Structure 1
């Protein structure tokens, strides 16, 4: 590798990837909680209460949080992220980038076993990565038609048409990630994803009782790396034998179960219980920046294909009112319209901020007149599986009604919602969390997928220019132009603000860490 190109990648990583490393409350355990002393007998089971049933456990198929939270314990990636959100090897031993920046060669770790006993080899990695390249919108935007190729038993090649400094970040993303599975399973995966869940992770899949639980168990032949645990990288160890993800749709039930000890950890509890959880000496609280709460517009079909109607909706929105309604406590959100969080110094921009949080009813009415709106029904797709999404949808519906927009809530469980979201005939607005990413091409509402079906030549050109940038300054400038265009001209989405997840556990849980959600390896539960 030329030192110049290698150095450029290193500078870019250090400059851009500070999403969770420097400021604020992005990843922490509540200081007010007093955990029990680390002594006594540990449990062999851990029960984590999950918000809703995942649509699949194949991580390549969806950006949904419930899939990510479970699948990350079964599957591992070629590269992963450390606690500074830097890409580092996981199933790769090493990697090398060619002098021209277009060829990536990954040398694999040897002796790594799948849960079925088969050794992982290059053919498995290539099949898995190409399955992901086909399924992931972010991968399609970043890499086009590029494919992985086998080079012997323990080496794979990724050949690009042109250099792309986002490559390592996209490969290491924890969101809709590239989980490595046996070749025959990856190649057999259809439109709904893999039918068997066999990975290399510290836990292996046992059973999935629909609407009840997903059971994983310790993989005795797991081959851990020898480096210290650091984010999603480093040594992983299953310190409990059986890990249950109990599917509990009702947030109050999850909270009650946590208080009684039925559950050791909960992925979500009622938003208004935040202060109660923090004050309870029998509970721990973990804080983590999730990302944007975003109102996604369906631009493929229906009334909101009209930019003037999108601008009308955007003009109506009172973001503070929505965020308070969704999250109830100002500790849990920040009012900011950026596509990237302000801690991401290499990317953050305030361009287009004039179009954020306008709460301007008169301006909205002007745009409604331009759109020729005549009372057509606007369908807001939502779910009760996630309180903040449902609460935000209710507030948005009320705000739209003040301008005369006829909005209706269509409420489904999470798997059904995700299925309906794929068909543009089913909805006009979808309010969802868009998790923190490390590069612009990973922002789902900027690409053509079910998160709004964005198909705009200018946005494509902006993203391509960012990937081809010759300096960090050039990339950031172009991203600022993209964001301003998005807010003022195209409106793929209206960001409502950034928000934080808070995850509670009993005080008997130790070792749990957070990176883009909870990591349950290296975790003990005391009796």
Structure 2
């Protein structure tokens, strides 16, 4: 066996938008929303290694974090929310995780062996204990992985009808129906991560909803005071991997005694708290404050490539189920104006037609680029005439919890009106938007969101058959299955080129606008912060 360690209109819109911004107190677009996160290390941040205690400062104390939206849950596999991802990964770990370059690396698995990319022998690390003191065994892993396949929308077709069996307490056999070279990349995804938890927690979950947050991570869940804070304490029995820290992989240390994640929806409150020292780290720093923070000797900024901005479309119920209507919406929109509305300077965003993040080089493609950023309301009107559009409402959900979603929604509404579409903007707090998106498909036609970095196309939520109501498209399903089963990345890439062209030209499952940077801030008493699909809070110290 081989062992795998593979790792005129614009000015009018802008003026209108400025009036809206002045009238509203909304959250800034630092961290993204349900579906995004950082994908590289920061441009400006501390570069201390967690093992250098002198550089890091003394261990102990409390790390106080101000987050911009409440996580809908801490149950990792069930939510695409960034807040859920970041708040839960202090608690939970996965069999495989990712290095900084997004290559898979072992975490709770000691090794994974395969000869054919169809049968995988997963040897577990022995002696790893959950926060309840019980040792992790194969039965916990099997229950957790089967639940991940049931709950997560990033698993694609790879694991359809897959079987998991135990070979003793510390070995699990994964048997796929068909070979896939993308198996480990998918298992390592930080989005809706394959969290390993005790089997008894899963068995005791009422209606499949986890209420006991027990993992193997460096911090234990202590308390969640709704709409106020989540409290974690250091897990003294944590056993780190004997590898250098690298992205989400390698050695993790809980160098602070406790962490509080405070839910602070208002951006001015987060910023003021950071400046006064009430908070040590803050999500969602307003982009307009970037220069001021750079000039503050007591603060550090983190500006890092983060996610892709997009508008999700309802392909299950309502007017947007018609592909030609979706094509009309896409034809009408000016991506550059939308991104300028969301992010006040071109240094904070980039225009790109690729569904896959520009940093994942093996999957880069400009297929379908001619359908991106059309800004062609006349073409939109032609398509609307073809389907006999009769001024029906097109309901767009957005939120003031994230400025970039609200501001881009305002401009999109106006652009669509110019193309003859009766666009209506409906504003919710972020958790309510997520709930309505998943559970009330008849109440909306589109929503503003973002998508974080994934390592393979089948993990893209915008192409998922289950996310936000999903879609019924045999070509997408068949091509994704072919990508997953392709014997080489080169052959898979050719298939992905064809599928992205189809998405832009015909299907339009989302409207993709481009990518953007997130802006975080922290006090200089915090050392060791790194970023990889979101800020990482282990291997971090804080001094008084």
Could you list the per-position Cα deviations for residues 145-196 of structure 1 after superposition, in whole angstroms to 9, with x for gaps in the alignment?
2132222111111110110111000001011001111101123335563111
2:276 corresponds to which residue?
Answer: 260
1:298-377 aligned at under 5 Å gives the runs: 298-377=314-393
1:242-261 aligned at under 5 Å gives the runs: 242-261=258-277
- Alpha-carbon distance, 1:203 to partner: 0.3
1:94 corresponds to which residue?
Answer: 111
2:174 corresponds to which residue?
Answer: 158
1:408 corresponds to which residue?
Answer: 424
1:372-451 aligned at under 5 Å gives the runs: 372-422=388-438, 423-451=440-468
1:34-113 aligned at under 5 Å gives the runs: 38=55, 44-97=61-114, 99-113=115-129
- Alpha-carbon distance, 1:327 to partner: 1.3
Q: Distance in 2 between matches of 1:66 and 1:519?
A: 13
1:227-238 aligned at under 5 Å gives the runs: 227-238=243-254
Greater shift in the superposed pair: 25-34 or 182-191: 25-34
Matched, 1:170 2:186: yes
Q: Distance in 1 between matches of 2:39 and 2:483?
A: 29
2:514 corresponds to which residue?
Answer: 497
SS of aligned partner of 1:488: helix
Could you list the per-position Cα deviations for residues 35-56 of structure 1 after superposition, in whole angstroms to 9, with x for gaps in the alignment?
xx95876661111111111111
- Alpha-carbon distance, 1:454 to partner: 2.3
2:31 corresponds to which residue?
Answer: none
- RMSD between aligned alpha carbons? 2.1
Checking the alignment, whether the CA contact within 8 Å between 2:153 and 2:467 is kept in structure 1 is: no
Q: Distance in 2 between matches of 1:334 and 1:443?
A: 19
* Alpha carbons of structure 1 residues 191 and 498: separation in structure 2 relative to 1, 3 Å: farther
SS of aligned partner of 1:243: strand
Could you list the per-position Cα deviations for residues 316-354 of structure 1 after superposition, in whole angstroms to 9, with x for gaps in the alignment?
111111111111121111101111133322111001000
Aligned partner of 1:487 among 485, 492, 504: 504
1:208-219 aligned at under 5 Å gives the runs: 208-219=224-235
Q: Distance in 1 between matches of 2:167 and 2:39?
A: 44
Q: Distance in 2 between matches of 1:296 and 1:250?
A: 25
How many aligned residue pairs are there?
Answer: 508
1:459 corresponds to which residue?
Answer: 476
1:281 corresponds to which residue?
Answer: 297
- Alpha-carbon distance, 1:482 to partner: 0.3
1:119 corresponds to which residue?
Answer: 135
Could you list the per-position Cα deviations for residues 446-465 of structure 1 after superposition, in whole angstroms to 9, with x for gaps in the alignment?
11123352221111111111
* Alpha carbons of structure 1 residues 272 and 43: separation in structure 2 relative to 1, 3 Å: farther
Checking the alignment, whether the CA contact within 8 Å between 1:138 and 1:447 is kept in structure 2 is: yes
TM-score of the superposed pair, with normalisation by structure 2: 0.90
SS of aligned partner of 2:359: coil
Q: Distance in 1 between matches of 2:151 and 2:46?
A: 43
- Alpha-carbon distance, 1:89 to partner: 0.8
- Alpha-carbon distance, 1:233 to partner: 1.1
Aligned partner of 2:44 among 20, 23, 30: 30
- Alpha-carbon distance, 1:439 to partner: 0.4
Matched, 1:518 2:535: yes
1:220 corresponds to which residue?
Answer: 236
SS of aligned partner of 1:55: coil
Could you list the per-position Cα deviations for residues 209-257 of structure 1 after superposition, in whole angstroms to 9, with x for gaps in the alignment?
0000000000111111121111111111111111000001111211111
- Alpha-carbon distance, 1:394 to partner: 1.4
Matched, 1:141 2:157: yes
Checking the alignment, whether the CA contact within 8 Å between 1:25 and 1:287 is kept in structure 2 is: no
- The structure with higher relative contact order (CA 8 Å, sep 6+) is 2
Q: Distance in 1 between matches of 2:287 and 2:209?
A: 33
Checking the alignment, whether the CA contact within 8 Å between 2:95 and 2:106 is kept in structure 1 is: yes
2:16 corresponds to which residue?
Answer: none
1:173-192 aligned at under 5 Å gives the runs: 173-190=189-206
Greater shift in the superposed pair: 279-288 or 118-127: 279-288
* Alpha carbons of structure 1 residues 484 and 508: separation in structure 2 relative to 1, 3 Å: same
- Alpha-carbon distance, 1:33 to partner: 12
Aligned partner of 1:474 among 485, 488, 491: 491
Checking the alignment, whether the CA contact within 8 Å between 2:131 and 2:216 is kept in structure 1 is: yes
Checking the alignment, whether the CA contact within 8 Å between 2:154 and 2:191 is kept in structure 1 is: no
Checking the alignment, whether the CA contact within 8 Å between 1:78 and 1:89 is kept in structure 2 is: yes
Q: Distance in 2 between matches of 1:196 and 1:32?
A: 34
Q: Distance in 1 between matches of 2:304 and 2:120?
A: 32
Q: Distance in 2 between matches of 1:349 and 1:121?
A: 42
Q: Distance in 1 between matches of 2:92 and 2:56?
A: 31
* Alpha carbons of structure 1 residues 40 and 163: separation in structure 2 relative to 1, 3 Å: closer
Checking the alignment, whether the CA contact within 8 Å between 1:33 and 1:279 is kept in structure 2 is: no
1:18 corresponds to which residue?
Answer: none
Could you list the per-position Cα deviations for residues 56-115 of structure 1 after superposition, in whole angstroms to 9, with x for gaps in the alignment?
101010111000001010000011111121111111111111x23211111111111111
Q: Distance in 2 between matches of 1:460 and 1:353?
A: 22
* Alpha carbons of structure 1 residues 164 and 257: separation in structure 2 relative to 1, 3 Å: same
* Alpha carbons of structure 1 residues 379 and 136: separation in structure 2 relative to 1, 3 Å: same
SS of aligned partner of 1:142: coil
What runs of 5+ residues in structure 2 fail to find an aligned partner?
8-37, 49-53
Q: Distance in 2 between matches of 1:70 and 1:118?
A: 23
What runs of 5+ residues in structure 1 fail to find an aligned partner?
14-23
Q: Distance in 2 between matches of 1:51 and 1:42?
A: 27
Checking the alignment, whether the CA contact within 8 Å between 1:32 and 1:279 is kept in structure 2 is: no
